Amino acid sequence: MTPLVEMIAIEKHFGGIHAVNGVSLDLHPGEVVGVLGHNGAGKSCLMRILSGAMRPSAGEIRVGGKTVEINSPHDARDFGIETIYQTLALADHLDAPANLFLGRELRTRWGNLDDKRMMEETRKVLARLNPNFRNLSDAVSRLSGGQRQVIAIARAIYFDAKVLIMDEPTAALGPAETAMVGKLIKQLRQEGVGIFLISHDMHDVFDLCDRVVVMNRGHSVGSYRIDDVSKDDVLSLIIKGALPEDWALRNRERLQ
């Protein structure tokens, strides 16, 4: 099966600093891949390259097997790659529909904003995520962290994303809302969406991911199926950049 996305030998330099150093990774339909690492390990940088917020210094990106150039967030969206940013990237003074459709507003025949239809569509997609969501015409600055996150997620899924990049999607959320996001990720996976999940929360990672890719100082130090590693193994990868020495021994049977 062709991967949804392949990033091949991606490099990103800032002056003399190598933020991303020859990293390759791929993502298949219906797969959740955890992208892990310390702050500054290069994972956010790598994801920003895929979402079009940053251009790579070198390397190749393939979408559905075809080599593409992603020069802007707009390009990424055209390829079906949607990103939910850690900072939530919402315009605080606008309401939920205005945020959901920001940059892709629905228009009437005369080119005017079709606020009525945007409101209806927003109601539909939000109902799927959180049936209790009612403050649709409030400025999003007045909403809770969870409600804001719902809007950010709704924005990504409304436009039929094939690839979803989630940067710490539950960092600002309470337990109930975290559970809701978890449920949503599982649902999207069933629908065949591929998800890159950047997270520091080991519980989330082991609950949601099929595979983890760990980065350390700009390098990828490995890609493992979640069943093959323990939390300690992953922590070792993150901290030391290598698996514990006894890993191969412990997994000998399974590896054969």
Partner 1 sequence: MSVVSGEVRAVASASGPSGETLHKLSALLTLALLIAIFAFGNAAFLSVNNGLTVLLQTSVIGVLGIGMTMVIITGGIDLSVGSVLALSGTVTGMLVKAGMPVPAGMAAGVAVGALCGLANGLVITKMRITPFVATLGMMLIARGTALQLTGAAPISQLGEAFGRLGNGALFRLVEKQPNGLSKVIFPGIPYPAIVLLIVAVAAAFMLRRRALGRHLYATGSNEEASRLSGVNVDRTKIAAYVLSGALAGLAGNILMSRLVTAQPNEGVMYELDAIASAVIGGASLMGGVGTISGTMIGAFIIGVLRNGLNMAGVSAFIQQIIIGFVVILAVFVDQLRSRR
Residue with Cβ nearer partner 1 (41 or 140): 140
Query: Does 26 contact partner 1 by CB under 8 A?
Result: no
Of the candidate residues 4, 7, 10, 98, the single one contacting partner 1 (CB under 8 A): 98
Upper half-sphere CA count for residue 156 (Cβ side, 13 Å): 30
What character string, x for contact with partner 1 (CB under 8 A) and - otherwise, covers 61-90? -----------xxx--x-----x-x-xxxx
Helix (H, G, I), strand (E, B) or coil at 155: helix
Number of residues that make up the chain: 256
Near partner 1 in 127-146, by CB under 8 A? 137-139, 141-142
Residue with Cβ nearer partner 1 (112 or 190): 112
Question: Minimum distance between the CB of residue 141 and partner 1, rounded to whole angstroms?
Answer: 6
Residue with Cβ nearer partner 1 (108 or 223): 108
Question: Minimum distance between the CB of residue 173 and partner 1, rounded to whole angstroms?
Answer: 19
Pull the structure tokens for residue 170. Answer: 């539950």
Phi and psi for 145 in degrees, rounded to 5? Answer: -55, -40
Question: Minimum distance between the CB of residue 73 and partner 1, rounded to whole angstroms?
Answer: 5
Query: Does 102 contact partner 1 by CB under 8 A?
Result: yes
* Site stretch for partner 1 (CB under 8 A), options 112-120, 161-169, 210-218, 240-248: 112-120
Q: Which residues contact 4 (CB under 8 A, 6 or more apart)?
A: 27, 28, 29, 63, 64, 162, 163, 194
Contacts of the segment 173-177: beta carbons below 8 A, 24+ positions apart = 173/145, 173/146, 173/149, 174/145, 174/146, 176/146, 177/145, 177/146, 177/149
Q: Which residues contact 213 (CB under 8 A, 6 or more apart)?
A: 25, 33, 34, 35, 36, 220, 222, 223
Residue with Cβ nearer partner 1 (74 or 203): 74
Pull the structure tokens for residue 62. Answer: 């393939």
Of the candidate residues 39, 112, 132, 190, the single one contacting partner 1 (CB under 8 A): 112
Near partner 1 in 179-238, by CB under 8 A? none
